[in-house]
Chains A and B, each alone.
Chain A
């Protein structure tokens, strides 16, 4: 029997029993769709986090006060009193390191902004002119904080897009005077909307020179020091040098934590990949179940078509021809089910993306390939037994069945 004929025969046989065929196709489709949608969710979460982190800027090294939890507990740590503050002078010292391109100090607090007859609570970030480039932000109007001595700073402010919208209702804000807490500041720029940013939404921030912010909040400490390494290769060097210099400046205490975007990213990436794989594995169980269903459907088909098998043998069909025909049928059920499920899954992911536009819910290629391959191979694997049973059937007995 020619291959084309085997396929046509199997197709007609499957089409001849629409209920049974559609049930097993459906089961397979649900299995594959589950894998596609769930991995789209998992991988979407991963991409979301990765994108969020990437938006922090490139070659970024972040210094925060205090030992990280991963530093472990040691008697020495327990003996120390509160860690020494991270200061503007520390940040300035860091900016002199050879592997460092830019440094931006960051201090933060909440205050009230009062302008244009409106009043609202806002987050205030005290930083420096370098911050814009480190974070890779763009200006919508005016310019960012001017270069100045970090300890003093001019009475100016840069506002986020949302603040501008809420307080100035779309009117140009540059040059306007605002009241921030007890300070009177002049707006020199408006940031372009970024819509994201882990933890803080920069659209709702007011940026002021770090000296002004420290005065406002009556503090000497920094919340963060953001460092941009000269290149990606220098990130490790920056980490080492920063740790060394701050240890020296803090009287030998290792009381700061240096994190890199890469490390955080890699951790999240690994975590969420594992999560996606686990979810895919769970969804794959439904594929195995679908495979078992295909096997049962094929066993029913073999039983139902016993007399047909007898007839085919009487007409000169060889055992392996009959086996191939039933295998082809099982493969078709699986293939059609897998493709239908793939379509359904893509549609499901599309619906997810429509519902949550910030969430890039695309199924990863490996999951799609794995789902399709698993569907096909379980279908074939579970198709072997019924097909063999058909091929081995005694023709005389088979012909007597009706």
Chain B
């Protein structure tokens, strides 16, 4: 079942007289447990899409179903509840609260959700241990390295065990090696079943994902999942490749199913 289903999504910004179509005619479905990279040039609408997926923004048209439920029609408070329980955010600039310690930053979503102090402490301790931060629990963000800060942010994003983890350029403020660590951390979370959606303009990172969404001018130019389908459509399995008959092949098999021709 699709955890995310977007249909006919439009997002328009009005800047004075000019109109910017940040997203147009967007139809995407993402399954539970997928690892998706959203790529494309600057200004192509990647962040707008991610904000929409995270319910921080509302589309001007179209529908968004999260875990089968239409979330565009929810009230702001209901949306906040969905953000609290089902969505985790990781930002390029970490967005840690500077006056709070690492442990307090990680506990923040649970505090907002009204989880009792004792349970919070126990879950934070576990999370800090899992992310190799147990020695840093009482450090404030300015006492942490960039990589540690992003790990705190990831611990915070996942502490409520969300269904979807959204990361907007999570390595943008990190050097290569630390960035790779962070990506590995996110991938490990994905391997344990969390749906992972990363916005990046770094092809090296983007290609690691099992599926890439290529954005351009607010439109989805390419979806590696359907591309593979289309490629299969265009080159149906079989010896007769020259004929290129449309509609000849039956419904395409799943992309990871080895085809007869490739065998």
A residues apposed to B, CB below 8 Å = 1-2, 5, 9, 12-13, 15-16, 307-308, 310-321, 395-396, 399, 402
The residue among B54, B99, B112 with the most chain A CB atoms within 10 A of its own CB is B112
Q: Does B225 contact A (CB under 8 A)?
A: no
Q: Does B97 contact A (CB under 8 A)?
A: yes
Q: Once the chains are docked, how many angstroms separate the CA of A351 from the CA of B116?
A: 48
Query: Is B112 a contact of A1 with CB atoms below 8 Å?
Result: yes
Contact residues of B between 156 and 212, Cβ < 8 Å to A: 156, 160
Q: Which residue of B lies closest to A402 (CB)?
A: B93
Chain B residue numbers with a CB within 8 Å of A1 are 111-114
Query: Is A318 a contact of B56 with CB atoms below 8 Å?
Result: no
Chain B residue numbers with a CB within 8 Å of A2 are 111, 114, 116
Q: Does B126 contact A (CB under 8 A)?
A: no
Q: Once the chains are docked, how many angstroms separate the CA of A2 from the CA of B117?
A: 10
Query: Is A321 a contact of B112 with CB atoms below 8 Å?
Result: yes
The residue among A16, A310, A318 with the most chain B CB atoms within 10 A of its own CB is A318
Classify chain B: how many residues form its interface, as a range: 20 to 34
Q: Which residue of B lies closest to A311 (CB)?
A: B95
Query: Is B51 a contact of A312 with CB atoms below 8 Å?
Result: no
Chain A residue numbers with a CB within 8 Å of B114 are 1-2, 5
Query: Is B56 a contact of A13 with CB atoms below 8 Å?
Result: no
Query: Is A315 a contact of B112 with CB atoms below 8 Å?
Result: yes
What string of 1s and 0s marks CB contacts (under 8 Å) between B113-144 and chain A? 11010000000000000000000000000000
Query: Is A9 a contact of B56 with CB atoms below 8 Å?
Result: no
Query: Is A316 a contact of B56 with CB atoms below 8 Å?
Result: no
Q: Which residue of A lies closest to B77 (CB)?
A: A318
The contact of B84 among A5, A307, A316, A396, by CB within 8 Å, is A316
Query: Is A313 a contact of B100 with CB atoms below 8 Å?
Result: no
Instruction: Name the distance in Å between A6's Cβ and chain B's nearest Cβ.
Output: 9
Query: Is A12 a contact of B100 with CB atoms below 8 Å?
Result: yes
Chain A residue numbers with a CB within 8 Å of B98 are 16
Query: Is A315 a contact of B56 with CB atoms below 8 Å?
Result: no
Task: Jot down 22 A-B pairs with beta carbons below 8 A, ordered by A.
Answer: A1-B111, A2-B111, A5-B111, A9-B111, A12-B99, A313-B80, A314-B56, A314-B89, A315-B108, A316-B80, A316-B81, A316-B84, A316-B113, A316-B160, A317-B112, A318-B77, A318-B81, A320-B77, A396-B51, A396-B56, A399-B91, A399-B95
Q: Once the chains are docked, how many angstroms separate the CA of A120 from the CA of B109?
A: 87
B residues apposed to A, CB below 8 Å = 51, 54, 56-57, 76-77, 80-81, 83-85, 89, 91, 93, 95, 97-100, 108-109, 111-114, 116, 156, 160
Query: Is B99 a contact of A313 with CB atoms below 8 Å?
Result: no
Q: Which residue of B lies closest to A17 (CB)?
A: B99
Query: Is B109 a contact of A307 with CB atoms below 8 Å?
Result: no
Query: Is B76 a contact of A318 with CB atoms below 8 Å?
Result: yes
Q: Once the chains are docked, how many angstroms separate the CA of A183 from the CA of B108?
A: 95
Chain A residue numbers with a CB within 8 Å of B97 are 308, 311
Q: Once the chains are docked, how many angstroms separate the CA of A9 from the CA of B104?
A: 10
Given contacts A1-B112, A5-B111, A321-B112, contact A315 B91 (CB under 8 A): no
Q: Once the chains are docked, how many angstroms separate the CA of A318 from the CA of B108?
A: 13
Q: Once the chains are docked, how many angstroms separate the CA of A222 from the CA of B113?
A: 86
Given contacts A318-B80, A396-B51, A396-B56, contact A312 B99 (CB under 8 A): no
In the A-B complex, the 3 residue pairs with the smallest Cβ-Cβ separation, listed nearest first, are A316-B84, A16-B99, A316-B83
Q: Beyond A1-B112, A15-B99: 14 further Cβ-contacts under 8 Å? A: A1-B114, A5-B114, A12-B100, A13-B99, A16-B99, A313-B80, A315-B84, A315-B89, A316-B85, A316-B109, A317-B112, A318-B77, A396-B57, A399-B56
Q: Which residue of B lies closest to A320 (CB)?
A: B77
Query: Is A315 a contact of B76 with CB atoms below 8 Å?
Result: no
Chain A residue numbers with a CB within 8 Å of B93 are 402
Instruction: Name the distance in Å between A22's Cβ and chain B's nearest Cβ.
Output: 16
The residue among B89, B156, B160 with the most chain A CB atoms within 10 A of its own CB is B89
Q: Which residue of A lies closest to B159 (CB)?
A: A315
